[in-house]
Each structure stands twice: as C-alpha cells, then as structure tokens.
Amino acid sequence: MEKARIFLTGVGGQGTLTATNLLAQTALEQGIPVTSGEIHGMAQRGGVVVSTVLLGGLLSPKIGLGEADILIGFEPLETYRALEFLAPGGIVVSSTEAVPPVSVSLGKAEYPDITTIEHAIRNAASRAIMLPARTLGKKAGAVQSGNIALLAAMLAADVLPFGVDALKATIERNLNPKIAGVNLEAADLGAEAALASNA
Amino acid sequence: MPHPIMDTKPGETRLLLGNEAIVRGALEAGIDCVTCYPGTPSSEAPDTFYRIKHAAPESAAYHFEYSPNEKVALEVGGGASLAGALTLVTMKHVGVNVAADPLCTIAYVGSPGGLVLLSADDPGCHSSQNEQDNRYYGRLAGLPVFEPATAQECKDMTKEALLFSRRTGRPVLLRTTTRVNHIRGPVTFGERLEPASSADAKPFVKNPSKYVPIPAFARRMRLELLDHLAAVAGESEQSPWIAEHGEGDVAVIATGISRAYLNDALETTGLAGRVRVLELGLTYPLPEKRIAALMGEVKRLLVLEEGEPVLERELRELSRRAGLGTEVVGKMNGVGDDFTHVGGIGLPRFGEYETSIAANALQKLVDPSFEPSEPVSAGKAEGELPMRPPNLCAGCSHRSLYYAVRQQFGDNAIYSSDIGCYTLGILPPLSAADFLFCMGSSIPGGCGMARFDKRPVLAFIGDSTFFHSGITGLINAVFNKHEVLVVVLDNRTTAMTGHQPHPGVDATLGGPNESMVDIEAVCRAIGVQNVRKVNPNKLNSSMAALEELSALPGVKVLIAEEPCVLYARRAMKKKTAMAAEVSEQGPAVEYCLETLACPAFFREDGAVDVDPVQCSGCMVCAQITKEREDTGAIKARKKG
C-alpha cells in the first residue's frame, strides 16, 4: 500500500493518542511521508477519541466516510460505530473487549451483541483481525499496552511498507526504558495473535 | 532534562503537533513573552511553552504566563510589546471576543516589539459553543492574517508572522483551525535566533501622540493603520506564502486547512495539473493584482475556505471592480451543502470541509453537469448505537455536588451553567445545566433569569472561570441586589483544558503558589455576606449548606472545594487506598447507580458492581446507600 489512510478510534483514557503518535513516529523513522490528526472533543475521559494517520504524501488529516484503508478500533463498539469510514476492501483490526458506556451501565441503552459486531466487521472488511487487546496488554505487563498489541497486529498483516520490527525499533528509541519492555512484549503478543487470527 | 523541542538540532526533523510547531516557530524567532488563556484547540501551544520553561529555565529566556482571561493576556502582551518584547498571545476563537476590546485599539497603537495573536478557530464545534470565523477579526481590527495548513507551516509561519510584526511594528493574526492545531507531521527545525529584546533592544520611548489614542491622536492612528494595510497588500503580491501551480481555464483559490483537502482532492480526482491553483498563506490583505491577473486568465474560479465566505465575498467584489467576467463560485452559490440547489457547488457554510467536499466542488467546477455520488463505505452499523458522550470522571467532586443539588432542588430550580468540565453535568440524571452563553456568564445570566422567574436560580462556575470573568458578574450581582445562589465548583485547577494553573491554585510547575488568591476572601471583599465552604464529597455538609443558603435572600456563595481527581492523581501524586465495593445488592445500590451515574459502576449479569481501577475512593456512593433505608450497601475496601 503506497498511500494509506488509517483511522483509529477508541475511548478517552485508553491511550489511543499515544498509539497514534507511535505509529506516525514509526512511519517518520522509516522515511515515509506522514500526516496525522486527532479529535478528542472535550478533553475529558470517557468520550470517543478519533485520530488518523495518513501515509504516502496525503496532507488532509481528516478521513471521510468510506475513505479509510485501515480501521483500528481500541474498543469493539467504537470499531462498529466507525465502520462506515472503512473503504471497500479495507482492513479492520479491533479489540474484542468492551468498555460499556455509562448509558449501558445505567440500563438506558443496550450494548450491541458482540457476535453481531464481529459479524458486521468480518462482512465489511477484506481482512479482519480481532484480538483481546486489554488482556494481551495485561499479559505483557500493563493494561495500557494493549494498544501496542493492536498496532503490532495491524503491522503483522504486512500491508504497510514497514512491519512489527520497525514499530519495536521506534518503541526502543522513543519510549522511556521503564515502559519500553512491556510495550515490546505487547507488540510480540499482538503480532502472534494476528497470525493466529489469520490462520 | 531539556524538552525535545529545545533538544532537537537545526536541520533535524521531528514529528510535531501543530501547536508544538507553533511553539518551535516562536522560539526560532527569538520570542520574549508569551501570554494566554488556555482553550481547546489552542491549549497545547501555551502548555508546551510552560513545560519547556520549567524543564530547562536556563535555555528558555522568555517570560510566560497563564492569564486569568484573554483580555488580560492581550493587554499584558500589548504592554510587553511596547517595551520592545517579541510577544505571542494565544487563545481559542471565542477568547478573541473577550480580547476584542484591546485588540481593536492595539492595532492603532502598534506593537513595536512584535505581537502575534494566535486565534484557534473550531469549525465543527468539537469543543466549543460556536464556530465563529475569526478571519473577520483580522478585517475588523485591521491585522494581517497568516493561515498555516501543515505542521511545518505552523512552525515557519509563526516565525515569519512574529518577525513580520516586529519589522512592521504592528500586530498580526495567526489564524488556525482545530485540524491545523491538532495535525501531527514532520517539522524540520531551523536555527533559533537570540531573544529579540536582547539581540535588538527597542526600549520604550515616551511619545503620547504615538501611543495614547485620545480622539485627536486616534484619528491619525486610524489613517496610519490604513496606510499600513495598503503597504502589506503591496508586499503580499510577492509573498513567499503564495503558491501557484497547474494549468487550465478554471482556477481554485484556497486558504488554511482547505489547502490540504485541495491537495488530496486534486489527486483523487486526477485533476492535478489540469486546474490552476493559488494557495494563500498570508490571507489578508489580499494580493489583489496577482489574483486579478489570475482571474483574467480563467473563466471560473472556485474559492475553498471553511466557515464563512470571507474570501469569496472579497474575490467576487474584486472581479467586479477589476471589470473581469470571471465567475466566482463558492458557498454563496447554494444553500448550505445542498448540491441540488440551483448553482450549488456543495460547499457548506457550517462544520468542516474534507477531501471529498473539495473533490466534488472541483469536479463540478470542471464539469458543471457533474453530480456527486454518495460515499461508499465497506459497512455500517445497524440500528441506533449507544452514545458515548464525554462524562464527568469517576470520583469527580462536581458529580457529588450536583447530586446534593438535585436532592435539594430537583427540577424546581433553574441551573445557569458556565464553561468548564462541570458543563458536562448537563447529562441526566444530574441534569444540572439549563442554559449557558459563554465563559463567565453563569452569574450575570442567572441574575437576569432570577429577576423574571420565580424559581430559585443556581449559578455554577468553576475556579478558573471565576477568575476569568466570574468576579465582575459577582460584583454586579452584589451591587444590583440580585437573587442568586452561586456555587463555585473549585477543583483547584483549570481541569477541562488540561490542568493549567490559575491565580487560585496551590502550586504551579514553578513550585508553591505563594501569592494564591483566595476565592472566599474575594467573595467577602466584594461584599457577599453569606459565603460557605464545603467539601463536596461530604454529602451531608453540602446539603446542609445548600439548604441554609437557599433560605437566605440576596447573593449567596457556596464554595465546593475538592481537587480534580485526575489532577490529584497525576500532579499531586495522591494515591487512593480505598475503592468502593458493593457489599450487598439491593434497591439502594440500584438507586445510587441511577441517581449518581458514576462511570465506575457497571452492571454484569443483573448485578451492579464497581470497577476498582476506575474508582477513586470518594465514597460518595457509600454515603448514599447508607442514607437509604431500603436494602443494599456499598462499602469501602482496601485497594490492591
């Protein structure tokens, strides 16, 4: 994929912006022209956070309906909500672990059935990689590093001009050594999970 | 440890946020003074100056301050610039309304040291109450306007705008929009100039006829400002911030982030090179000769600009004035984004543009019979999905106070709200925001309401907002004998925009705030007779205070003081030893979930539970269940 529009979505407080930044940084270090953008509405926890990474010389930081080549969802309901941004033939990488909105906890709204979500994603995407990101993060040593597992899973799909090793190199170069180890481990777990999900 | 923005060497490239790139541009220009009021989407610009300053003060020779409001920020900046300091003042679009008074006159008085005002507009209202287009302020006050579109331009244009302002001795508007402030892209660093005030001192020389706009002098100043704008217009003809490319008998003129959408649209439509393009960076005053020359060579001209048809009107007028037959097309052709409207070209006057909008307009420009097709998505969610609005955090003390207010008043009072985290109390079940105008409006707005509505009126205002412009409203309330119960939701920081300090905080990055301004003392000094202070996490005491104050006449103030939970955790390093736990399921627990709606609560297999990771240990839920006689209890449990 020479040019790629990557749409990332998650819940505030999950660290989606950190992941977005790392992905953009990896592209930059690989010498690929990159533009990235973020919208976090009111800077509060618990709302939807949407960000973008555009590779290959695209200048617009915004991705319109049906324009995303890759959709990375850090939470399944948000992946589902953002599905209309996915281009025909696009790829989805999503966590399968729900973070219910307050309206659901209050019993005022219903969280869609997770198998319905999975089915819709698999129907829409040319390739869908679903993994329990938070659990993988926890296994690596920190719940927050689940985001890196998702990024690595996407890179393991071999659709971008760089792969998991490039991400790991960026992590080693840019993250505080105290947390780099956990994130490197999360990257490995994500890449493994992607291969297993492809099998 | 030095900040990466200081650490990177000239010639090296770094990935920067648009707002960070603005900071680097200012540093490269030799910035002396930065003032601001934080506000999304501008906040990361001043925040970065603040962090750099405190990470390595020895290499950050500029003065930085968080001002209580934008008017004050611009006035301090104006004074600094008169003293020869190269100055940047930052704010969001609505903040410029607050600063509009000094702005329109600083343009007359001038800014010998150089003064750039960053106005971060928010098309699409991502985090704002309106989407006003501040390019009008450039026209209104008479300020040249620079509009960057990429991270690299954010850096380069900020530097250029500052140096331009210092050279001309007059203020400049640096206008961005949300997508530009929050774009992230590679930025190649340049050399840092020495701080302007030491490299080239411009001490203030008294000259009242030049700097004091009494009417006799102001009339002359007005003419000088017009001369200045004419000179800038002449200069802009050769501006390096104009890019021209492409060929053909139709043209596009684009500014701001629309240039990015245009770039991608030219590619997706395959029209690159087949349309003449003029990209404007310095967007006011216009290079009219250059534009007229272009217009004379094309049949149709498309104007791409988000927001209001500011440029379009000027180009239509220019086309007529120059006696050209060029047809100017833009958002004035149709209504909104309605393509079916006669002449409509699909350019909305609200919200943001995107690549497809630019692409459709381009294709319509080239081929008037073009009809756009709906975007094709790979899939779409079925039915209504549960929304996920931003929410008051688990353990937020505003939630506790709102709970107490609802216990006391329910729907029988009117809630006047203000700008801050606490506006999120609008969501049910708290439903604690009935109306809102702008920052600082809750007290005077509430006063006006109370004059003509018999119900009790409560005005909620945060601590930062109190200092921003709450004080003047409170003074008015006392003086004009209004009936209002003011609740100051004092969480000890400017929480909504990212925990910036204000005059009332206990500490800043520089250490303890030795000159802390005490809100309670201010209220008493203004003349408020009845002031009470409570810890909002102690429900009984806040309810008692609300009951007592509501029975009293006149202006009453309740200060609900408790640090923002996120701030307490991140900055004050407060560890919570306890977490709430449902010890007994039952109606009281259900009631608590339904009325408090704390996001740490969740329901699993019919049972209510509390997520110990999210719980901050405020124990308001335990107090609520304890008060209830029906069964069910929540108790504190050691975390870990």
The 10s digit of each residue's pLDDT in B286-305 is 999 999 999 999 999 999 99
pLDDT score at B604 = 83
CA triple A3-A4-A10, angle to 5 deg:
165
pLDDT score at B337 = 52
pLDDT at B535 over 90: yes
Q: How far is B383 from chain A (nearest CA, A)?
A: 9
Q: Is B590 an interface residue toward A (CB < 8 Å)?
A: no
Of B40, B43, B379, the CB nearest to A124: B379
pLDDT at A48 over 90: no
Beta carbons of B184 and A36 less than 8 Å apart: yes
**pLDDT tens column, A157-181:** 999 999 999 999 999 999 999 999 9
Q: How far is B126 from chain A (nearest CA, A)?
A: 5
Backbone φ and ψ for B47, nearest 5 degrees, come out as -60, -40
* Tokens 């205070």 sit on residue: B545
Distance (Å, rounded) from C-alpha A100 to C-alpha A119?
19
Q: How far is B194 from chain A (nearest CA, A)?
A: 29
Distance (Å, rounded) from C-alpha B97 to C-alpha B137?
9
pLDDT at B2 over 80: no
**pLDDT tens column, A66-91:** 999 999 999 999 999 999 999 999 99
If you average pLDDT over residues B342-361, what whole number do you get? 88
**Interface contacts A/B by beta carbons within 8 Å:** 182
User: Taking CB atoms and an 8 Å cutoff, what residues of chain A touch B257?
Assistant: 60-61
**pLDDT tens column, A129-140:** 999 999 999 999
Beta carbons of B355 and A89 less than 8 Å apart: no
Of A11, A43, A59, the CB nearest to B497: A43
Beta carbons of B385 and A112 less than 8 Å apart: yes
Q: Structural domains in chain A?
A: 4-197 (3.40.920.10)
Q: How far is B355 from chain A (nearest CA, A)?
A: 7
Q: Is the dihedral of CA B467, B468, B471, B474 positive or negative?
A: negative
Q: How far is A26 from chain B (nearest CA, A)?
A: 10
User: Taking CB atoms and an 8 Å cutoff, what residues of chain A touch B152?
Assistant: none
Residues 6 or more apart whose CB falls under 8 angstroms from that of A117 comprise A76, A77, A79, A80
Q: Which is nearest to B29 in space by CA: B182, B197, B185? A: B197
- Tell me the ipTM for this assembly: 0.95
Residue B304, sorted as left (phi over 0), alpha (psi -120 to 50) or beta, turns out to be: beta
Q: Is B348 an interface residue toward A (CB < 8 Å)?
A: no
Contact A33, A56 (CB under 8 A): yes
Q: Give the residue, B346 or B63, on which the prediction is more confident.
A: B63
**pLDDT tens column, B498-526:** 999 999 999 999 999 999 999 999 999 99
Which B residues 416-445 touch A at CB under 8 Å? Answer: 421, 424, 429
Beta carbons of B264 and A106 less than 8 Å apart: no
pLDDT at A43 over 80: no
User: Taking CB atoms and an 8 Å cutoff, what residues of chain A touch B382?
Assistant: 116, 120
pLDDT score at B144 = 98
pLDDT score at B335 = 60
Beta carbons of A58 and B264 less than 8 Å apart: yes
Residue B339 exposed, middle or buried by CB count within 10 Å (0-12, 13-18, 19+): middle
User: Average pLDDT, whole number, for chain B?
Assistant: 95
Three-class DSSP category at B352: coil
If you average pLDDT over residues B44-70, what whole number do you get? 95
Tokens, residue B98: 């607050």
Of B184, B263, B354, the CB nearest to A59: B263
Per-residue pLDDT band for B428 (boundaries 50, 70, 90) equals very high
pLDDT at B14 over 90: yes
Beta carbons of A43 and B498 less than 8 Å apart: yes
Identity of the residue numbered B3: H
pTM of this prediction? Answer: 0.96
Distance (Å, rounded) from C-alpha B330 to C-alpha B323?
20
Q: How far is B335 from chain A (nearest CA, A)?
A: 21
**pLDDT tens column, B563-574:** 999 999 888 888
